[in-house]
Chains A and B, each alone.
Chain A
């Protein structure tokens, strides 16, 4: 079957989709967006978390056919998504990318100035930057799902308590870090966000 939907503000069409395929498979194998991860494919680890019409869900448990006409944000679009939210064009968290942004959007934004292959110079969302700065990334396989979940939590709860953070991220397994640095990262992103708002 054919499925049409919007990913990170861009219209996408997937053809010859087997009816049993998940949104996760379509993103990874058909649309060249492997950022959402395939750790358990049973909704137990959160590595494949994306936003579906603004709501964080496990993309492994969404049948591809169910996303027809809907809006998906993945980790690849998180920086753009956060930037637009900050610019006030997306208060609800469920909006897409403008046509102009969509046309210039790329899955692998590179800073043309340096020859860096590490993505330095890439514009990151505050939560992405905080994960790097706090040492919340080790193998990184859980990171995309955690970022999408944490970003959405900070959107709803800008000054979360530790227990709020733990609850919001309780659907995302990490095997490397013991979660301490992930908590640090979310606290850091929240604090930076607060400082920014105070400055404004």
Chain B
């Protein structure tokens, strides 16, 4: 095993080009477990800790450019307003110690369906900034996950940052685990209201081979909200709409039975979380609307 310690992003890209099998290590929260338990013996470890810009973020007009190694703790503490869904998801990641080390880049690189950040990224809308010595490209989040623990990165590419749409409305995130902290998701659900485009986006974790959006549920809800004039009125979403949305979210799952839970439970729980997160975000939206009315 060789330990590569690039001092700059350019050196890191060069190293990855020279050794495409090199395994990037930043927070170490996935890679080191595999090494400690003898599950993996990479030829090269590519340490990204010395590259300061990976832990920086920029808040732009439309997007937040989030460095791949910005720790979850920093997201929780600093980006709650811009990225409320991801901040909530970050808070569910493992333990304080892990949140101090791990970042979204690691979640994306590992591309486990159980990664906590994925549903929030899918719901908010995001692009992955991938770079190699050949150049930089933006991969839409919907095209990023290609299979169980597989992603759209080329062998010589590294994740530089994630560009996440700044919230234009309420976002929520829920995760089921059989413990009240420090638990891998049995399944998870993210939901974001986008009042500017009058759309709702979702993300499902751990209930399909890859993180997925509940597209049929989104389409149904978008149409129902539009037809009922809900975005303007801020009226309460009726139980039948919420129920249909929840059922369609369940239907978007393609889960398996494993030691963490049954497929049937995962479908069921995703439906419950879909209904609840819709309720919470919509109440927040109505509250905001009312506040605005009051102010006007």
Contact = CB atoms under 8 A, between A and B. Distances in A.
B35 A20 contact: yes
A66 B29 contact: no
Given A20-B1, A61-B28, A65-B3, A43 B33 contact: yes
Contact of A19 (B33, B45, B49, B97): B45
Nearest to A62: B28
5 contacts: A46-B95, A58-B101, A63-B32, A171-B94, A171-B97
Contacts of A154: none
Contacts of B157: none
Nearest to B2: A19
Interface of A: 1, 18-20, 22, 41-44, 46, 49, 55-58, 60-63, 65-66, 68, 149, 167-168, 170-172
A55 B101 CA distance: 9
A63 B5 contact: no
A97 B92 CA distance: 35
Contacts of B36: 22, 41-42, 60
A18 B1 contact: yes
A43 B1 contact: no
Interface in B2-45: 2-3, 5, 25, 27-29, 31-33, 35-37, 41, 45
Given A19-B3, A57-B101, 10 more contacts: A1-B3, A19-B2, A22-B36, A43-B97, A46-B97, A58-B95, A63-B28, A65-B5, A66-B25, A170-B95
A68 B3 CA distance: 12
A46 B98 CA distance: 9
B33 A61 contact: yes
B95 A63 contact: no
Interface string B46-59: 01010000000000
Contacts of A55: 100-101
Contacts of B148: none
B81 interface: no
Contacts of B2: 19
Contacts of B100: 55-57
A42 B33 contact: yes
A167 B98 CA distance: 13
A103 B37 CA distance: 37
B147 interface: no
B96 interface: yes
Nearest to A153: B96
A98 to B, nearest CB: 26
A42 B37 CA distance: 8
B182 interface: yes
B94 A43 contact: yes
B47 A65 contact: yes
A149 B32 contact: no
Nearest to A3: B3
A68 B25 CA distance: 14
A19 B23 CA distance: 13
B41 A20 contact: yes
A149 B45 contact: no
Given A61-B29, A61-B101, A65-B5, A168 B96 contact: yes
Contacts of B25: 63, 66
Contacts of B33: 41-43, 61
A129 B31 CA distance: 36
Contacts of A66: 25, 28, 47, 49
Nearest to B5: A65
A19 B1 CA distance: 6
B181 interface: yes
Contact of A43 (B29, B41, B47, B180): B29
B94 A62 contact: no
B97 A68 contact: no
Most chain B Cβ neighbours within 10 Å, of A44, A62, A66, A172? A66
A82 B251 CA distance: 54
A62 B36 CA distance: 11
A43 B33 CA distance: 8
Contacts of B182: 44, 170-171
